[in-house]
A and B are shown apart, each in its own frame.
Chain A
Amino acid sequence: MNTTQRVVLFGATSAIAQATARLLVQQGCSLFLVGRNAMKLQALVDDLRVRAAPGQRIESMNADLDLIDGHAHLFDAAEKNLDGIDTVFIAHGALPDQTACEASVPLTLALIHTNALSAIALAGEAANRLQAQGHGLIVAIGSVAGDRGRQSNYVYGASKGMLALFLQGLRNRLAPHGVQVLTIKPGFVDTPMTAAFEKKGPLWATPEHVAHGIVKAMRSRRDEVYLPWFWYWIMLVIRNIPERVFKHMKL
């Protein structure tokens, strides 16, 4: 009989996932970590194993999540390693250079493939497996950028927005089956992904802070959370600006 939460993390070496993984280990979860960078992944496994109690399992597999054909195999491996799955956490993603994307359609599509299509593929696969067992949780990281298209960041925004809409539908479909779907919408987070930005001011949060919010939302069975909380109000305003006005704004 399984007595720990079993969590699969996709994109485990991203800063937010890494901070979340540490909290999950603290809470006694067993983890299966999937990441692209083998050395970074092993460093995370070492770190978590030092923190874990004897009964907790920390396993990992190296994979490029852009290769959607490999996803089913990753789920199989996770199920085998953890004796089943309770939670699927989808955290991988890339932040593109918007101007470079504007100049290159292939780059735009590649980004949408990584952030939206591969994440949707994982969520879809997870949904079928969790629905069959009648319980479980799917968590995926969207973005406040997905709430409205803006000239400075609409390729990234579109990919995250697509993911959020898909998750919304999934939540509706899975609600009667005891499966929770949680969409996380972080604002500005100080991570290597945002290394190119000047990170000053009260809007920037640390990955640890966001991770605490994620774990809390998982526990309280939320559907969608903005992290930190004040982004809910910021985005409420931004979503409600009439398009006639919005299209002339520089955001």
Chain B
Amino acid sequence: MNDLQSWGRLFPVHSGSVWRPDERSSSLPHPESGGLLAYGQGRSYGDVCLNTGGTLLHTTGLNRLIAFNRSTGILRCEAGITLREILALTVPQGWFLAVTPGTRDVTVGGAIANDVHGKNHHSAGSFGHHVVQMELLRSTNERLLLSPQQQPELFAATVGGLGLTGLIVWAELQLAPIRHAFMTVETTRFANLDEFWLLNAQAERLWPYTVAWIDCLAKNAHQGRGILMAGRHAAAQDELPAWKEQVKTMPVTPPISLVNSLSLRALNTLYWHRAREGVSLSHYVPYFYPLDGISHWNRIYGRAGFYQYQCVLPPEAMQTGIAELLNRIAHSGEGSFLAVLKTFGQRPSAGLLSFPRPGATLALDFPNRGARSLKLFRELDAVVQHAQGAIYPAKDARMSATMFQQSFPQWERFSQWVDPAFSSDFWKRVMQPAK
């Protein structure tokens, strides 16, 4: 039950030592070799949460609440608590996470270290913008209080810092007020990318949350067709629908991926045609976390695991760039049911290595087909590099050191703040000399 692995299941289970702090006053161990790295729920896809030959600091024991001010919405909690646990506590009391990613099963520490974003980036920025303060434990066992005012440089390095600046022990988050658990959602189909850009620009002005699902296999006239889902926390209602969460489990890992070009094409076409347009009331769980309803959904990609490719392209290049990416993916016949397109807002990210930046972000899963997959990614990389875009470290398992260093220009400034006893497989990979 303690297989520490990343979500894409591309890498072996962690075989080195594991240290599990069970209270926030614990000191860090002295690693024998290989360095330290925090590991929470293992929901990052590639190798940012892995540390081969080193020690993983498994933070699930750091899951206590510390204080919650019900009038200001400021919550202080240990960093190993999951967003699911927080929402279960705060939603009935009228508070929601100011920013949430597409799953509740990540820890607060992981959300900060990857500076995760959500469907409301254009209106609320990313997770790091709502961190009031946090405690960082360095390998010297020095405890530092970080906030945008206090130690602002180390704060900026730790937000989006991939866990490399030390162990985040606790954090204080500013939550956002809501009336109840339901969302007003507007669903609109678009026939192609041109329609998407128009529709999306409009939706962004009217809705705090927007996201689009794209049929990544549609070609030619249908290329870029999809469904835009805009939402907001609903106003008080006379009557709320009944809603009960139902969870299914993917019980086993099939020997080969159940996602293939045949099943995918059928599923995508069905999904597009069956979408109901219009405005409706939806519970927040299916709106934000459709996949939380299937536990271990990552097993569907079979024993070989899967990659997620998520990139961002800047505004001036996004329209041609996204079209080019979709073109190449459609022709490869690879890709997934879950292709997501979203535009980011203008707000500068809080972290030196934060991924969100103005432009459009596209995310797709790909079953691991070895060299064939890697070849497609290199083609996609070329498009992203040409557009001066970037790849999301939390999802990445293979980008080159050159690509990382080009697309995260603050990496040198960041590296001064890395705790010398901390490391990760991702960091070792992207710190190789650029070619």
Contacts and interface: CB of A to CB of B under 8 A. Distances in A.
Interface string B57-101: 000010011111000000000100000000001000000000000
Interface residues of B, number: 15
A192 B61 contact: yes
A43 B61 CA distance: 12
A190 B1 contact: yes
A50 B67 contact: yes
A37 to B, nearest CB: 7
B105 to A, nearest CB: 15
Interface string B341-356: 0000000000000000
Contacts of B65: 46-47, 50-51
B24 interface: yes
Interface string B1-37: 1100000000000000000101111000000000000
A230 interface: no
Interface residues on A, range: 10 to 19
Contact of A192 (B1, B22, B78): B22
A37 B61 CA distance: 16
A43 B67 CA distance: 10
A43 B23 contact: yes
B38 to A, nearest CB: 18
Contacts of B24: 43
A204 B66 CA distance: 29
A15 B60 CA distance: 12
Nearest to A38: B25
Given A51-B89, A200-B1, A46 B66 contact: yes
Nearest to B22: A192
> Chain A: interface secondary structure?
helix
Interface string A200-216: 11001010000000000
A50 B22 contact: no
Nearest to B21: A192
Contacts of B61: 192
Contact of A200 (B2, B64, B67): B2
A195 B64 contact: no
Contact of B22 (A15, A47, A204): A15
Contact of B67 (A37, A40, A46): A46
A195 B20 contact: yes
A46 B66 CA distance: 5
A175 interface: no
B20 A192 contact: yes
A50 B1 contact: no
A55 to B, nearest CB: 15
A39 interface: yes
B74 to A, nearest CB: 12
Of all A-B residue pairs in the complex, the 5 with the closest CB atoms, nearest first, are A47-B64, A50-B65, A39-B25, A40-B23, A50-B68
24 contacts: A15-B22, A37-B23, A39-B25, A40-B22, A43-B23, A43-B24, A43-B25, A43-B64, A44-B64, A46-B64, A46-B65, A46-B66, A47-B64, A47-B65, A50-B89, A190-B1, A192-B20, A192-B22, A195-B20, A199-B2, A200-B2, A201-B1, A204-B1, A206-B1
Interface of B: 1-2, 20, 22-25, 61, 64-68, 78, 89
